[in-house]
């Protein structure tokens, strides 16, 4: 089973009615593999890569800024143009900071995991008139791998976030706090634990020796296996040396995803190795890139817990009298409550969907208070809202069976294979 994540139900519809995105086909795997309810055709994905944040793993509290960044990372409203209309957010391509290896939008993608970020459907500013999809990178460990972009043209995460929003996806100029939050979040992203050794020690030792000779000057072991520089290694241009950490979960490889597996990816560094030497090297590189595999089940309980935890951001914005942040958070959480609502089944009477509607109204009210700069009201509404979520949560969570959170109700739909995609 491959990874995936929530595909907002309305997204496909929005994309098909968006004028500027008219030449795009039906999106296939936004945020990963789609899971579809056979009876209704409604979409509800059940797994995504785990959220691996440095402070949380160390057992300390995540800063409010990083938590705000995680929320912003999931909001289409941060982007502009067709991306926003299509319901795309940073997380669509980088779910929980990982690479979405299933991402596929006909017209933008030539194979799963690739997207043409210089396509005019996404924005005119970078449009180059060529169909040149690039492979979506993982952002896990990204703090250690400047410069950024496949061509290494962007010096910092701050500059990249602004560029992604404004230049790539035609969004509004982001306020400084939004960029700070996205950077704080990305600085928290760490790789999964290293995976187990994949070959016998003597093979790995021989492979390490070959790596030292042919590869280590660019993939520097003490620098996350990259050198922060750009090289022409015969792959059709000058590219930033990628880290080799976490390779196990980012196939296909190279800037345009042309290398289906590690074997194909290695040929740029060395030629004329004896077959045994080549397999030794491959085993060593696989060891560098091995990670303890993991997927997190998307559950109703988990989504409600996440929403509840993010309420803390409203308290923070209220205390500090951050009008714009409070408005943004309330709007974002209202949207997330809406996504949960859309996955619940209709029941008669005062069902869980009605409770979600109540939450949605409460988020709207508190957002309006923030927008009006009425922090006294915002600080009064916040504890009421928190109490309400606490009170309602058990009844909402009990609605999981039979909802679009219920794996038993959903069947996976794979992204097209390379061959299918090329047809």
Q: Which residues contact ligand HEC by CB under 6 A?
A: 78, 83, 88, 90, 92-94, 115, 117, 134, 136-137, 139, 142, 145, 148-150, 157, 160-161, 164-165, 182, 214-215, 217-219, 231, 233, 235, 239, 241-242, 244, 247, 250, 253-255, 262, 265-266, 268-270, 281, 285
d(CA 193, CA 246): 9
d(CA 165, CA 83): 10
d(CA 7, CA 147): 31
Q: Specify whether the CB–CB gap between 291 and 193 falls below 8 A.
A: yes
- The torsion of the CA quartet 108, 114, 118, 122, rounded to 10 degrees, works out to 50
CB of 324 to ligand HEC, least distance (A): 17
d(CA 209, CA 284): 9
| Identity of the residue, 136 or 356, whose beta carbon is nearer to ligand HEC in the bound complex | 136
Q: Which two tokens stand for residue 377?
A: 């009201």
| Identity of the residue, 105 or 385, whose beta carbon is nearer to ligand HEC in the bound complex | 105
CB of 52 to ligand HEC, least distance (A): 16
| Identity of the residue, 126 or 301, whose beta carbon is nearer to ligand HEC in the bound complex | 126
CB of 419 to ligand HEC, least distance (A): 21
Q: Please name every residue paired with 296 in a beta bridge, in sequence order, or none if there are none.
A: 48
CB of 114 to ligand HEC, least distance (A): 7
| Identity of the residue, 68 or 78, whose beta carbon is nearer to ligand HEC in the bound complex | 78
CB of 18 to ligand HEC, least distance (A): 15
- Distance from the Cα of residue 181 to its chain's centroid: 15
Reduced to 3 states (helix: H, G, I; strand: E, B; else coil), residue 308 is helix
Beta strand segments in 92-190, E? 114-115, 134-135
d(CA 111, CA 102): 9
Q: Specify whether the CB–CB gap between 111 and 415 falls below 8 A.
A: no
Give the end-to-end CA distance of the chain in Å, rounded to a whole number: 25
- Distance from the Cα of residue 205 to its chain's centroid: 35
CB of 314 to ligand HEC, least distance (A): 22
| Identity of the residue, 182 or 307, whose beta carbon is nearer to ligand HEC in the bound complex | 182
CB of 121 to ligand HEC, least distance (A): 11
| Identity of the residue, 162 or 409, whose beta carbon is nearer to ligand HEC in the bound complex | 162
| Identity of the residue, 253 or 382, whose beta carbon is nearer to ligand HEC in the bound complex | 253
């Amino acid at each position: 089973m491959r990874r995936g994540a929530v595909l907002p139900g309305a997204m496909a519809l929005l994309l098909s009615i968006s004028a500027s995105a008219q030449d795009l086909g039906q999106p296939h795997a936004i945020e990963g593999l789609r899971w579809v309810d056979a009876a209704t055709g409604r979409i509800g994905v059940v797994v995504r890569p785990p959220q691996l944040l440095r402070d949380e793993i160390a057992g300390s509290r995540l800063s409010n800024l990083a938590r705000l960044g995680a929320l912003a990372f999931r909001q289409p409203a941060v982007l502009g143009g067709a991306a926003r209309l299509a319901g795309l957010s940073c997380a669509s391509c980088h779910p929980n900071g990982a690479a979405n290896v299933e991402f596929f939008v006909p017209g933008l993608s030539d194979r799963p995991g690739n997207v043409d970020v210089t396509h005019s459907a996404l924005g005119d500013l970078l449009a180059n008139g060529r169909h040149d999809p690039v492979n979506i990178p993982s952002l896990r460990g990204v703090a250690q791998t400047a410069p950024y972009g496949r061509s290494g043209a962007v010096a910092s995460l701050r500059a990249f976030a602004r560029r992604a929003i404004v230049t790539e996806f035609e969004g509004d100029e982001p306020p400084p706090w939004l960029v700070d939050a996205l950077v704080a979040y990305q600085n928290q992203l760490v790789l999964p634990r290293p995976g187990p050794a994949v070959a016998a020690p003597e093979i790995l030792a021989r492979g390490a020796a070959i790596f030292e000779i042919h590869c280590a000057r660019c993939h520097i072991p003490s620098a996350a296996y990259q050198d922060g520089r750009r090289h022409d290694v015969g792959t059709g241009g000058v590219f930033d040396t990628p880290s080799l950490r976490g390779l196990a979960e980012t196939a296909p490889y190279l800037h345009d995803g042309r290398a289906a597996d590690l074997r194909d990816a290695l040929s740029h560094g060395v030629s004329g190795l004896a077959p045994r030497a080549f397999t030794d090297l491959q085993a060593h590189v696989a060891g560098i890139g091995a990670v303890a595999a993991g997927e997190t089940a998307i559950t109703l309980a988990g989504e409600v817990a996440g929403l509840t935890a993010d309420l803390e951001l409203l308290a923070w914005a209220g205390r500090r009298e951050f009008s714009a942040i409070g408005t943004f958070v309330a709007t974002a959480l209202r949207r997330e409550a809406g996504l949960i609502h859309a996955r619940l089944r209709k029941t008669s009477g005062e069902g869980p969907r009605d409770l979600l509607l109540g939450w949605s109204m409460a988020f709207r009210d508190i957002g309006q208070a923030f927008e009006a700069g009425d922090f006294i009201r915002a600080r009064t509404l916040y504890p009421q809202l928190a109490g309400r979520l606490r009170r309602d949560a058990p009844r909402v969570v009990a609605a999981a069976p039979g909802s679009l959170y219920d794996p038993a109700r959903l069947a996976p739909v794979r992204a097209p294979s390379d061959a299918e995609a090329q047809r």
